[in-house]
Amino acid sequence: MPEFAELLSALMPYQWQPMVTLVCGAALLLYLSGLARGAAPGFWRNFAFFLGLGLMYGVTQTQFDYFSQYVFFIHRIQHLVLHHVAAMMLVLANPLPVLARGTPQPLRDNLLAPLWRSAPVRTGYAVLQQPAVAAFLFAGLVYFWLIPSIHFDAMLSGWLYSVMNWSMALDGLLFWWLVLNPHAPGSGRHCLGYGMRCILLAAVAFPQIILGAYIFFYGTGIYEFYEVCGSPWPIDTDTDRVLGGLITWIPPAMMSVVGLLVVLSQMFRQEKREAERLGQGAPATGSTA
């Protein structure tokens, strides 16, 4: 059937990246194994995990990646998914307990646990989870990869293009985990207070708004790559640039608003649990015969 052949072709990688397939495939298998070995975490967490993982794979290992390499606004959608949407979905799923349960015990005990406890990994993670560093990297990477000369080189170089996408995905996971960590403030070394989480979400929104607005209004001719290499669609380069600026401007700000709503929801649930705990621990009143 021609329709099926076209669909299958659209789902095949434009440029196969074995590491992406390996990471996504391993995460999927370990998660399914973890579900089979214990209680399911609930429909919405499962949905968020499969959606986030599917989106990360879809924008990098299907024909979507082809269009993202030749159409600027599609490229901005790709990074919006990697840095914001898919990363947030995976963090909201909180899949680590399920993944740990699905990981073979020898691998977990002999490799992953010692690696996590090693000084370089712990130190590096602690630095990256410092609020100021996390906010700077989250907004700064967007700016860095959109510097015209660097963007031109990244779009022409296979390995640099891969580094760009990996950096956006990994940094997105780190940032959203810092601000949407489901654990209560103070329960862990990097569990920030709810106020600081809100400040970080606001802090990363404004630089992206400014950059997107600049590309939208004043960015004529700054991304020469798309003029030199051409587009698979009959789209004017200025229209492409305007759409790309709009995607850099509005959706990331909306994701910060969504993050704020999630943080406020976490705060209200924590206050409710604290009130219930104090209520249960209150001494009984009245007299007994």
Please say if the pLDDT value at position 285 is more than 50: no
Which whole number is the average pLDDT over 11-18? Answer: 81
pLDDT of residue 289: 32
The answer to whether 59 touches 83, Cβ cutoff 8 Å, is no
Q: Is the dihedral angle over the CA atoms 219, 223, 224, 227 positive or is it negative?
A: negative
Q: Which helix H or strand E contains 87, and what residues bound it?
A: helix 86-93
pLDDT of residue 287: 40
pLDDT of residue 286: 44
pLDDT of residue 244: 96
pLDDT tens string 235-283: 888 999 999 999 999 999 999 999 999 999 999 988 888 887 787 765 5
Give the type of residue at 45.
R
Query: Rounded mean pLDDT of the chain?
Result: 90
Closest CA to 215 of 243, 192, 181, 178: 243
Cβ neighbors of 90 (< 8 A, separation 6 or more) are 48, 49, 52, 53, 56, 173, 176
| Cβ neighbourhood burial of 255 (10 Å; 0-12, 13-18, 19+) | buried
Ranges of each domain in the chain: 15-103+127-275
Which whole number is the average pLDDT over 161-181? Answer: 96
Please say if the pLDDT value at position 187 is more than 80: no
pTM across the whole model: 0.90
pLDDT tens string 57-106: 999 999 999 999 999 999 999 999 999 999 999 999 999 999 999 999 99
Considering the chain, what percentage of its residues have pLDDT values greater than 90?
Answer: 70
Give the type of residue at 216.
F
pLDDT of residue 14: 79
pLDDT of residue 3: 64
- At 55, the pLDDT band (50, 70, 90 cuts) reads very high
pLDDT of residue 281: 63
Considering the chain, what percentage of its residues have pLDDT values greater than 70?
Answer: 93
Which whole number is the average pLDDT over 152-158? Answer: 93
